[in-house]
Chains A and B, each alone.
Chain A
Amino acid sequence: MSVERRHLLRGGLSLSALTLLTGCDLSDSNVVQRVLADISRWNDRVQAALFSDNRLAPTFPAERAVKDFRYNAWYGADRAPDLKAADYRLTLSGLIADKHPWTVEQLYALPQQSQVTRHVCVEGWSMIGQWTGAPLRTFLERVGADTTAKYVGFECADGYYEGMDMPTALHPQTIMAFYLSDEILPRKYGYPFKIRVPTKLGFKNPKFVTTIYVTNIRPRGFWTDRGYNWFSGI
């Protein structure tokens, strides 16, 4: 902690001073990236401390939910994975007692809740939508996950991968969303389900989830590996 903090202060100050003095953008230097990554880890801690287990994301009247929700990925919607219920299995791994794979039918039979919440993208845009599905907490308890572990990770059919801290995974509004606007989650939005977590930025809401694992090792994240902040709570 103290080493990180010292690193942060010394590195941050001298590097930003250098940037200003030389008038050039040092962002692509390895040292700058290292220091910025250290500060980002510090910000993870701050955000974990700010996160409250029982503070709910604001909810909105159903009529404010956008029907034609914005499609967002690094590939076009026509290239989205086309998963079939007959072949699909959700695999479980890590600190979970019952690792039997789950079918779509079994997943969709879980007790569900509906939420009209706001999706906030790291780029700045936001959109209100209505999602319905099973609380991730219910699922984790059903399969005997070790909820004292630190993290839950996700692997997806489109090559995406994400993870989150256990307190957020157990938050009452973190759900496995099977429906968007009362329709079975369309293919491009992540059929058979996406993780809907309104207390985090949009990219922490993985689609086409095929594996869920519980671990004490911090899971990587697709965009976190590309320089974005890991915790990304809102």
Chain B
Amino acid sequence: MTGSRSKLDVSGNRNVRSEQNVQSHALVVRIAHWLMALSIVLLIASGWRIYDASPIFGFRFPVWTTLGGDVETALAVHNDPGVATAIAWHFAAMWLLLASYLSFVLWGLFSGHFWRDFLPVGPQSFLRDFIAAARFRLEHRLGEYNAVQRVFYWGVLALVALMLLSGIAIWKPVQTYPLEALLGGFQGARIVHFAGMALIAGFIVVHVTLVILVPRTFIAMVTGRAEEPAPHRPTETVP
């Protein structure tokens, strides 16, 4: 479970750990997090190779950033620039994403993780923390998410849902027919799928940058626990 600030534990006492700037993640959260990370990287890289086969916009992704094998080899063996392999990756990784995403979301909803750690959040607190972050004045406290983080986590979770939906609309436009209409038709679904990818890629850049700035959060997501020494409270003792 994620340790969080001043929350009551089951016995009704203040959660002592949270006062210590401790971040902890349940095993299921860590496994789901890394599987989502892996599947999203595979989906984006293979998706770029697929995109390149028939670009929506006036550019292509450089081949080295894409997944699907060596183009010359694929052309020689298959008369295909690795799009077949990219699609095979894409439709394999989608199951991994679906499974890890559902585990993450169901756990988050039913364990209370989402309600405890991602709420409350509102436009005011978001704006306040966003401005503070933009001026490098937002303090990071382990175990507590600021309003910007909260909005980003809700946002990326919603984006993955949108990617799954728009992906299904593109994969099965006939069998799920009314679905594509919600996304503006088949081409609309492709554009939504692309835009969702771009936003998720942007999230990953910000997310990874912040992890590099506060490396303890990485330790917590791997080992399950990380804490920050609290020099301002030398009198506090850990039981």
Contacts and interface: CB of A to CB of B under 8 A. Distances in A.
A27 B174 contact: no
Contact of A228 (B68, B69, B87, B186): B87
A39 B53 contact: no
Interface in A18-64: 19-20, 25, 27-28, 33, 35-37, 39-40, 43, 47, 50-52, 55, 57-58
B69 A74 contact: no
Given A120-B186, A234-B173, A36 B96 contact: no
B67 A199 contact: no
A39 B78 contact: no
Contacts of A198: 174
B117 to A, nearest CB: 27
Most chain-B CB neighbours within 10 Å: which of A28, A33, A35? A28
Interface stretch (A81-89, A123-131, A188-196): A123-131
B172 A233 contact: yes
B175 A52 contact: yes
A85 B96 CA distance: 51
Interface in B85-132: 85-89, 91-93, 95-96
Interface string B44-57: 00000011011010
A93 to B, nearest CB: 27
Given A27-B69, A74-B79, A120-B173, A227 B88 contact: yes
Interface stretch (A9-17, A97-105, A132-140): A9-17
Contact of A124 (B41, B88, B93, B190): B190
A128 to B, nearest CB: 10
A124 B80 contact: no
Contact of B67 (A27, A40, A118): A27
A35 B93 CA distance: 12
Contacts of A226: 78-80, 84
Given A27-B68, A233-B172, A124 B50 contact: yes
A69 interface: no
B31 to A, nearest CB: 11
A115 to B, nearest CB: 13
Contacts of A50: 172, 175
A25 B35 CA distance: 18
B54 A28 contact: no
A125 B68 CA distance: 19
B79 A124 contact: no
A199 B73 CA distance: 32
Contacts, number: 112
Contact of B92 (A39, A121, A227): A39
Interface residues of A, number: 42
Contacts of B92: 8, 12, 16, 35-36, 39-40
A4 B99 CA distance: 17
A27 B171 CA distance: 22
A122 interface: yes
Contacts of B209: none
A160 interface: no
Contact of A123 (B39, B53, B174): B53
Interface of A: 8, 12-13, 16-17, 19-20, 25, 27-28, 33, 35-37, 39-40, 43, 47, 50-52, 55, 57-58, 74, 118, 120-126, 198-199, 223, 226-229, 233-234
Interface of B: 35, 38-39, 41-42, 50-51, 53-54, 56, 67-70, 73-74, 78-80, 82-89, 91-93, 95-96, 170-175, 177, 186-187, 190
Given A13-B96, A20-B42, A228-B80, 19 more contacts: A12-B95, A13-B35, A16-B42, A16-B92, A16-B93, A27-B67, A36-B85, A39-B92, A39-B95, A43-B91, A51-B175, A52-B175, A55-B174, A58-B177, A120-B186, A198-B174, A233-B172, A233-B174, A234-B174
25 contacts: A13-B96, A16-B92, A16-B96, A20-B42, A27-B67, A27-B68, A27-B89, A39-B92, A57-B174, A57-B177, A58-B173, A123-B50, A123-B53, A123-B83, A124-B50, A124-B54, A124-B190, A199-B174, A223-B80, A226-B79, A227-B84, A229-B88, A233-B174, A234-B172, A234-B173
